[in-house]
Structure 1
């Protein structure tokens, strides 16, 4: 690594905090990183309230509040290179499910209709106001490097930081989660879509072949495929592949429905309707990005209304 220490800031916007914790998952490699990086601002490590000048800025979380917007702008102004770190920063993350509802519906549900709420008061000036929309950070600031994942795997974190410190191009691959899964696709006579709690899937056969909806074939590999390797269908936490993002009339449900219908006796329409009824689940991580939200095939409000009838 470089002898000159690189100054690093990180900021935590609207997310769970898991991305900051993931940096610690570098384990012994963290020592190698710290030889070349000086952490100036990090919400979980330092008490720095301002935004010092820095070479690298890591921004986690989506833009959900006025505070998030201001913090992202401050980071852009003070950091030479900005990394959109984690799926929330890159695509908006699971907060994007809020786009299926109005801001007023969300506030009323949380503060007035929740069984645990004991007041009718909706916070005013005491907290930062919600933005009208949940959006990825690149709709507010320019981003230099995208590192999706929920959270990003330690391998990709180390590779990204090492590349930036050494002034080299990060290695970028477009493989799907399926590329790291050892299950085999096979034609079956399964006739119904199964929920994950229904039965125990065979560990050597593709989930789609067994009637379980798995998003591995439409999800970018930024995780090294731990879920399907341990008996859990992929939920798409690293975000969609470029094929899904760039094809205007193809999206998550159409791709999965087509593949699954070819592997089973379940019709394309049955699978698609199942995914539409649970759109906030299957689109959880990428609903907020315009590359998904503005597709002519993406009609989440319509799907939810129909499923509630």
Structure 2
């Protein structure tokens, strides 16, 4: 094991601190060791970002056994020279990607990909003032200023190869809800908190993806602990007349940022026809 900026140390040395911040999930033994040492040395431990809170994009790998990942990355990839899996001076992989709170106790969670800087300031200021930091259990849709006509859109789910309908430079409530336009927006099942009051919103809070005229991707994770975004989203899709079966690779897309906590795991192999 090698530690330090240039691998000049053979032991992990973490000084005691009032506050420690970990970004990124836990995929290998070294990262697990670092998280445990951080927990021992820090009075308050913060999980920063979607990877730390929910596993993030890397946790999509939880859908596959480790050997299948090795095969895909090091042997079958057309852009990689076929070779044996490297092992020299590399920490062993864990069985899956873990969120920080699956390995150690976490005091503060600040999700987001990327995290809203205002939330970091609020959380750290709250620690100094002795105030707890908690995000309210409301959805992106609860904060979204787009106009909802509450009419079923029907038809096929649109891909983002074609732009949503919007008028730039006018108040946000002049643009129709992206879900009602037929796009897959994860706002109904995603925790609010990414938004800001910048742009042409006349002081209203605008979620970050919406501000870029894009549907919500779900990076802030589920609205409440124990919620299942995939199941809830299937209901939201059906409620406006869209067919959830049109969503390709539903497991991955609807759990894109939240694959830790056993939300994503390998499925048992299907029996072959005729067997």
Do they fold alike, i.e. is TM over 0.5? yes
Aligned to 1:134: 97
Matched, 1:280 2:246: no
Say if 2:233 and 2:254, in contact at 8 Å, map to a contact too. no
After TM superposition, list the pairs within 5 Å mapping 1:175-194 onto structure 2: 175-186=138-149, 187-194=151-158
After TM superposition, list the pairs within 5 Å mapping 1:95-244 onto structure 2: 95-170=58-133, 172-186=135-149, 187-202=151-166, 204-224=175-195, 225-242=207-224
Which of 226, 246, 262 does residue 226 from structure 2 map onto? 246
Count of residues in Structure 1 that have an aligned counterpart in Structure 2 = 245
- Report deviation, 1:131: 0.7
Question: Aligned equivalents of 2:222 and 2:21: distance in 1?
Answer: 21
- Report deviation, 1:160: 0.3
Aligned to 1:64: 27
Question: Aligned equivalents of 1:138 and 1:239: distance in 2?
Answer: 14
Q: Which runs of 5+ in 1 are unaligned?
A: 1-40, 294-298
Provide the secondary structure at the position in 1 that maps to 2:75: helix
Question: Aligned equivalents of 2:246 and 2:229: distance in 1?
Answer: 12
Greater helix share, structure number: 1
Offset from partner CA, 1:94-137 (integer Å, 9 cap, x none):
11111111101111111111112124121113211211111111
Say if 2:25 and 2:56, in contact at 8 Å, map to a contact too. yes
Aligned to 1:86: 49
Say if 2:24 and 2:49, in contact at 8 Å, map to a contact too. yes
**What's the TM-score once normalised by structure 1's chain length?**
0.72
Larger RCO (CA under 8 A, 6+ residues apart): 2
- Report deviation, 1:199: 4.5
Question: Aligned equivalents of 1:108 and 1:152: distance in 2?
Answer: 33
Aligned to 1:20: none
Question: Aligned equivalents of 2:68 and 2:257: distance in 1?
Answer: 21
Q: Which runs of 5+ in 2 are unaligned?
A: 168-174, 196-206, 271-275
Question: Aligned equivalents of 2:247 and 2:59: distance in 1?
Answer: 17
Which of 252, 258, 267 does residue 301 from structure 1 map onto? 267
